[in-house]
Amino acid sequence: MRKIRIFDTTLRDGEQCPGASMNKEEKLVVARQLAKLNVDIIEAGFPIASEDDFEGVRLIANEIKGPVIAALARARKEDIERAGEAVSVAERSRIHTFIATSEIHMQRKLRMSSDEVVEAAVAAVKLARQFTDDVEFSAEDASRSDVDFLCRVIEAAINAGASTINIPDTVGYALPVEFGELISRIMNKVPNVDKAVISIHCHNDLGLAVANSLSAVLSGAGQVECTINGIGERAGNASLEEVVMALKTRGQFINADTNINTQEIYKTSRLVSTITGMVVQPNKAIVGANAFAHESGIHQDGLLKDKRTYEIMTPESVGIQMHKLVLGKHSGRHAFKNKLEEMGYSLSDEEINKAFARFKRLADQKKEVFEEDIEAIVTEEVYRIPEKYVLKYIHVESGSDKTPTATVELEIDGQDVKNVSTGDGPVDATYRTIKSITQASSHLLSYEVKAITGGTDALGEVTVRVEEGGRTVVGQGADTDIIVASAKAYLNALNRLAYKKLKI
């Protein structure tokens, strides 16, 4: 059975999803979990994009052992040199360089001839080889490229030293049969194809990213590029958990498997969702809340007799434990620390102390504290970016016969500022007050609230999406008081916008 390499690009392509950007500390947390998941390659970022991205790639390259650490670079000298510098400290490094090969991209975007594209590809691979022996070349928009020209570029890149050739369906245009045939033609037409691993990178614009990836594997591809929860630009990328579990569940048919530790899948999914604020829909395959839920009486009857009647995999196989350790106000720091480690968090003593203090306050407010509560606590206390706006006080009056009124006090750059505003409801009044204090020009795009756990004492989590000047960020807040959680989420988004301005 063939072993398919899993190339995880959550920290690069996944992060390009609007509002899902991560700072370098958050990227390192995800990279640690990806190493536990046992992915083969972690694409840590695009170093030329920003100083923070460069530092994030270098931080991951320096700490993470096991997976290959890759950095993306256009077929440009400055990009490749920056990528080479970023991954130079890695135990195992890769430079992933790319240039477009479709007619529309070459003419309209690059304004280059086909000969110039081949020359640029060869030069990029040769330069990248000066930094590492592991070079991957991508023919951007390969699925819309002329096949003969695509094969010419691939042959030249392999001759120049590329050991992995990536065939991206950049705009999610291909159909599974069509994409599988493209891979077969490349495997049969490129004379030196046996000297490189053929990789695929599929986008989900038509909802076919996973199907196209599996079709390509059936046709001989040896590497799949994907993201946790399928996050990424536009409609996202091929979902790692879906690709991996399809290969594990139907391995005999496909004659392929991966090295992934599947019991870390659910934990990884939750971690990425928590850090990015990208909520996983309940009906999401493998990791959605309903993925192993059964309501139909016929299904329930079958499950009680034999789980295999309606489950093609077990929840435990992807790390979903049907029983959960519940912590409470009598739980100590040691138990709390162990729980954090079980959940994939590797925190310093100072970070544990901050999270534990918040946990004890929460445990005094509710009877039981669940894993979901702890995830919210870690997001709230540990992974927050530097705060320009700090919530000091909030009081809201509302009722059926009273105009909702919010009094809010913030600390802004060390100065306390207080204001009062009314609104259409308690949350609206709160947001109007915060906006008047901060003088924010941002627009609220979405507001989502959910109870993290059951019961009237549940910790409520609010996720907002805010846009300002073309930048979109996600803010999160959690509290047993939903109005306080709403205020925290909005301020978290405003702090993210302020932080982004500082990084420009």
pLDDT tier for residue 7 given thresholds of 50, 70 and 90 = very high
Q: Which residues lie closer than 8 Å to 125 by C-beta, 6 or more apart? A: 97, 135, 137, 157, 160, 161, 162
How far, rounded to the nearest angstrom, does the alpha carbon of residue 220 sit from its chain's CA centroid?
27
Choice between 480 and 381, residue whose per-residue pLDDT is larger: 480
Closest CA to 270 of 16, 29, 25: 29
Listed in sequence order, the DSSP H helices in 41-146 are 51-63, 77-87, 103-104, 114-128
Q: Which residue spans of the chain are classified as CATH 3.20.20.70?
A: 2-276
What is the average pLDDT across 294-312? 72
What is the average pLDDT across 133-161? 98
Report the chain's mean pLDDT, rounded to a whole number.
Answer: 91
Residue 367 has pLDDT above 70, yes or no: no
pLDDT over 70 for what percent of the chain? 94
Choice between 367 and 470, residue whose per-residue pLDDT is larger: 470
Do the beta carbons of residue 125 and residue 160 sit within 8 Å? yes
Residue 100 has pLDDT above 70, yes or no: yes
Round to whole Å and give the CA distance between 60 and 86. Answer: 9
480: left (phi over 0), alpha (psi -120 to 50) or beta: alpha
pLDDT over 90 for what percent of the chain? 65
Do the beta carbons of residue 500 and residue 388 sit within 8 Å? no
Token pair listed for 315: 């929840």
pLDDT value of position 15: 86
Name the CATH superfamily for 389-503. Answer: Alpha-isopropylmalate synthase LeuA, regulatory domain (3.30.160.270)
Residue 305 has pLDDT above 90, yes or no: no
- For the full predicted model, state whether its pTM sits above 0.85: no
pLDDT value of position 178: 98
For the chain, the distance separating the N- and C-terminal CA atoms, rounded to the nearest angstrom, is: 48
pLDDT value of position 454: 64
pLDDT value of position 323: 44
Residue 53 has pLDDT above 80, yes or no: yes
Round to whole Å and give the CA distance between 15 and 38. Answer: 20
pLDDT value of position 457: 66
285 in helix, strand or coil?
A: coil
- By the 10 Å C-beta count (0-12 exposed, 13-18 middle, 19+ buried), 177 is classed as exposed
Round to whole Å and give the CA distance between 477 and 427. Answer: 13
Closest CA to 118 of 150, 96, 148: 150
Residue 504 has pLDDT above 70, yes or no: no
Query: How many C-beta atoms lie closer than 10 Å to residue 465's C-beta?
Result: 19
Choice between 474 and 190, residue whose per-residue pLDDT is larger: 190
Residue 322 has pLDDT above 60, yes or no: no
Residue type, position 427, single letter: V
The CATH number of 2-276, from 3.40.630.150, 3.20.20.70, 3.40.190.10, 3.30.1450.10, is 3.20.20.70
Residue type, position 479, single letter: D
Radius of gyration of the chain measured on its C-alpha atoms: 24
Residue 299 has pLDDT above 70, yes or no: no
Choice between 351 and 86, residue whose per-residue pLDDT is larger: 86
pLDDT tier for residue 296 given thresholds of 50, 70 and 90 = low
Do the beta carbons of residue 489 and residue 389 sit within 8 Å? no
Residue 295 has pLDDT above 60, yes or no: no
The C-alpha angle 481, 484, 467, rounded to 5 degrees, equals: 135
Residue 34 has pLDDT above 90, yes or no: yes
pLDDT value of position 413: 86
pLDDT tier for residue 470 given thresholds of 50, 70 and 90 = confident
Biggest CA–CA distance in the chain, Å, is 79
Handedness of CA 7, 151, 172, 470 (dihedral sign): positive
SS3 content of the chain, % helix, strand, coil (to 5): 45, 25, 30
Q: Are strands 471-479 and 460-468 parallel, antiparallel or unpaired?
A: antiparallel
What is the average pLDDT across 140-150? 98
pLDDT tier for residue 342 given thresholds of 50, 70 and 90 = confident
Choice between 457 and 376, residue whose per-residue pLDDT is larger: 376
Residue 354 has pLDDT above 80, yes or no: yes
32-46, 188-202, 320-334, 410-424, range with the lowest pLDDT: 320-334
Q: Which residue spans of the chain are classified as CATH 3.30.160.270?
A: 389-503
Round to whole Å and give the CA distance between 457 and 351. Answer: 26
Do the beta carbons of residue 262 and residue 317 sit within 8 Å? yes
pLDDT value of position 147: 98
Round to whole Å and give the CA distance between 39 and 67. Answer: 6
